[in-house]
């Protein structure tokens, strides 16, 4: 069948499908999901939720297992009775009661069994895979899949409804919305062109873009917010894209757009290993190493991580140049020439553009000075409000310039991360990956290679912070067994958590790039969800190869490592 027009030009149902509605893929995806949900939970998951003090899981106070923590949240009255019974304060036959709004009493729900808790953990893992499938194939509209996460978590009572809402509204979500709105203001005032001139002044062709600009962005992302860098530079690059297409009489050149935007996004992703300041994932690993008795300094981290960053970015640049340059419809492009010409038309910095520059500088200072205590979302929302008060943007600008379905996409990803962490699903995935490692990857320096495989795989499905949080307590003790320095294992885990290139939900950078890669005049989306799979999977393997052969088996062998504590 093919798509036919119905009333008012609306497409009729078609088995062939269109982006946003692909019936065959929907049937396959939901069919496999239902079958897997009906299957019993694996014994390894049952063992995990009943294990006392499992490393890598944050138990609630007064609980000893994941099952008890889940019950304490979902069945509080029954858990109180259970605790009292354990302490001998009530008879075993007493039934827990809960007061209703009318003041009457009714029997409370009983404690969840280990099987029921394991079911919730399994459900969250399956939901993660289902959403990755739906987002990757666009079988449903992105916004519909965003809502599906909340629906399934609510229907199966994975968490209380208020907790589900809080899981959606995390700092990272406000940051993505805010930074996209800030990018609208920067682009509307023309400030983006001045910023672009500073960064692109000496970039005069595709080779310089791949081998100079990519590494420069990657190194910058080791110290500055890579999300902000991506969001602020994309309008500049889309301007370069449009002017270049017009120069050569080309209506659309998707390969050029991907080379400019997707390549920069990948380069920014790999700035993480450069310093502990690159993101929360690094801070988590620093804390784990300190708790392990092997604290690492800022300078030591940079010594082992910074040489990786520009080399990885240059290799990514080589790959993107190799696969996309032959597909260009334009002959070449000169970013510095384009941006300089645009800036000359603008005249001096003044008016709303100057006010936007002040707001942007204040925002960057707030991120640096306030640090993690205020998060990234709070200061960004302050900047958005300042833009409204300064009449730089209107709500119509925000509605047209911010892709709310992409904001929802990352919100849904955050919610799944919370659900996976709470139910123990994330920890079970980590254990499953560790258990699948062949023996030769558990000995000596090969262990660092093995854990980077785990971290680089998991981070494409979960946030980088959640990946490091789940893997750290599991892999660090393995260093002692394998007789390898804990820093090597910890750094390899943290470094590979930056390799989230294969899915649009892997990192805010990907979501921002997908949202903003549009034709500046027509608004047509120039990047597809499948582009992350098509090009990002290869980039993940490139990053692994650089980490293994350039870092772990390369210059790490010649650097001094402190005596084991």
DSSP code string of 3-68: --B-GGGPBPP-SS-BTTB-HHHHHHHHHHHHHHHHSPPPHHHHHHHHSSS-TT--PPTT--SHHH
- So what's the pLDDT on residue 12? 55
Distance CA 336, CA 200 (A): 5
- So what's the pLDDT on residue 453? 92
Distance CA 24, CA 184 (A): 38
- So what's the pLDDT on residue 40? 92
- So what's the pLDDT on residue 89? 57
Note the pTM of the prediction, 2 decimals.
0.73
Other C-beta atoms lying within 10 Å of the C-beta of residue 64:
13
Query: Is residue 262 a contact partner of residue 339, using CB atoms and an 8 Å limit?
Result: no
- From 264, 206, 266, 257, select the one nearest 524 (Cα to Cα): 257
- So what's the pLDDT on residue 97? 44
Who contacts 308 (Cβ-Cβ below 8 Å, separation ≥6)?
273, 274, 495, 546, 547, 550, 551
E strands present in 384-472: none
Distance CA 195, CA 119 (A): 51
Q: Each residue of 184-193: pLDDT tens digit? A: 888 888 787 7
Give the residue carrying structure tokens 């911010």.
402
> Taking the C-alpha atoms of 129, 135, 136 and 137 in order, what is their torsion angle to the nearest 10 degrees?
110
Other C-beta atoms lying within 10 Å of the C-beta of residue 297:
10
Residue 525's DSSP bridge partners are 518
Who contacts 342 (Cβ-Cβ below 8 Å, separation ≥6)?
190, 193, 239, 243
- So what's the pLDDT on residue 106? 40
SS3 state at 98: strand
Who contacts 31 (Cβ-Cβ below 8 Å, separation ≥6)?
none
Residue 518's DSSP bridge partners are 525
Rg (CA), the chain: 25
- So what's the pLDDT on residue 373? 62
Main-chain dihedrals φ then ψ at residue 512, nearest 5 degrees: -65, -45
Distance CA 249, CA 156 (A): 55
Give the residue carrying structure tokens 């490393």.
55
Q: Are strands 97-99 and 105-107 parallel, antiparallel or unpaired?
A: antiparallel
Distance CA 184, CA 159 (A): 36
Other C-beta atoms lying within 10 Å of the C-beta of residue 216:
16
Distance CA 416, CA 408 (A): 12
Distance CA 491, CA 435 (A): 20
How many C-alpha atoms does 345 have within 13 Å on its Cβ side?
Answer: 9
Distance CA 218, CA 265 (A): 9
- So what's the pLDDT on residue 54? 87
How many C-alpha atoms does 72 have within 13 Å on its Cβ side?
Answer: 14
Tokens of 545: 């190869």
pLDDT under 70: residue ranges of the chain: 1-19, 88-108, 279-280, 368, 371-376, 564-565
E strands present in 411-497: none
């Amino acid at each position: 069948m093919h798509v036919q027009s119905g009333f008012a030009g609306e497409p009729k149902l078609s088995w062939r499908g269109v982006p946003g509605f692909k019936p065959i893929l929907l049937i396959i995806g939901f069919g496999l999901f239902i079958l897997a949900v009906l299957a019993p939970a694996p014994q390894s998951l049952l063992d995990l939720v009943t294990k006392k003090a499992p490393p890598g899981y944050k138990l609630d106070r007064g609980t000893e297992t994941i099952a008890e923590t889940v019950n304490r949240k979902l069945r509080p009255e029954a858990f109180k009775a259970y605790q009292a019974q354990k302490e001998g304060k009530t008879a075993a036959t007493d039934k827990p009661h809960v007061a209703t709004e009318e003041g009457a009493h009714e029997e409370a729900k009983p404690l969840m069994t280990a099987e029921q808790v394991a079911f919730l953990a399994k459900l969250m893992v399956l939901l993660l895979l289902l959403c990755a499938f739906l987002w990757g194939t666009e079988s449903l509209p992105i916004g519909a899949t965003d809502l599906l996460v909340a629906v399934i978590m609510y229907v199966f009572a994975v968490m209380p409804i208020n907790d589900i809402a809080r899981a959606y509204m995390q700092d990272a979500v406000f940051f993505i919305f805010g930074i996209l709105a800030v990018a609208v203001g920067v682009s509307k005032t023309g400030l983006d062109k001045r910023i672009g001139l500073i960064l692109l002044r000496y970039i005069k062709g595709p080779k310089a873009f791949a081998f100079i600009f990519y590494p420069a962005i990657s190194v910058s992302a080791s110290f500055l917010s890579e999300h902000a860098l991506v969001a602020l530079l994309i309008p500049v690059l889309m301007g370069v894209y449009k002017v270049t297409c017009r120069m050569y009489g080309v209506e659309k050149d998707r390969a050029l757009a991907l080379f400019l935007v997707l390549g920069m996004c990948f380069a920014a992703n790999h700035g993480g290993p450069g310093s502990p300041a690159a993101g929360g994932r690094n801070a988590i690993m620093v804390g784990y190493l300190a708790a392990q008795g092997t604290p690492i300094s800022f300078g030591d981290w940079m010594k082992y991580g910074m040489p990786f960053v520009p080399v990885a970015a240059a290799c990514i640049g080589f790959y993107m140049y190799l696969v996309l340059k032959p597909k260009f419809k334009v002959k070449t492009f000169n970013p510095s020439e384009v941006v300089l010409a645009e800036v000359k038309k603008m005249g001096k910095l003044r008016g709303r553009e100057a006010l936007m520059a002040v707001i942007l500088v204040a925002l960057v200072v707030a991120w640096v000075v306030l640090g993690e205590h205020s998060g990234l979302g709070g200061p960004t929302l302050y900047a958005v409000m300042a833009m409204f008060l300064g009449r730089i943007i209107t709500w119509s600008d925000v509605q047209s310039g911010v892709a709310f379905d992409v904001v929802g996409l990352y919100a849904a990803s955050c919610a799944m991360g919370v659900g996976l962490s709470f139910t123990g699903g994330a920890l079970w995935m980590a254990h499953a990956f560790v258990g699948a490692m062949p023996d030769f990857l558990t000995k000596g320096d090969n262990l660092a290679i093995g854990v980077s495989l785990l971290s680089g795989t998991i981070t494409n499905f979960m946030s980088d912070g959640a990946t490091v949080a789940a893997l750290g307590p599991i892999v660090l003790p393995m260093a002692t067994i394998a007789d390898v320095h804990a820093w090597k294992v910890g750094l390899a885990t943290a470094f590979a958590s930056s390799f989230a290139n294969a899915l649009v939900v892997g990192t805010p950078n990907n979501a921002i790039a997908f949202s903003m890669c549009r034709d500046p005049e027509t608004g047509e989306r120039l990047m597809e969800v499948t582009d992350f799979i098509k090009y990002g999977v290869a980039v993940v393997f490139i990053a692994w190869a650089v980490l293994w052969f350039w870092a772990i088996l390369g210059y790490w062998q010649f650097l001094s490592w402190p005596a084991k504590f």
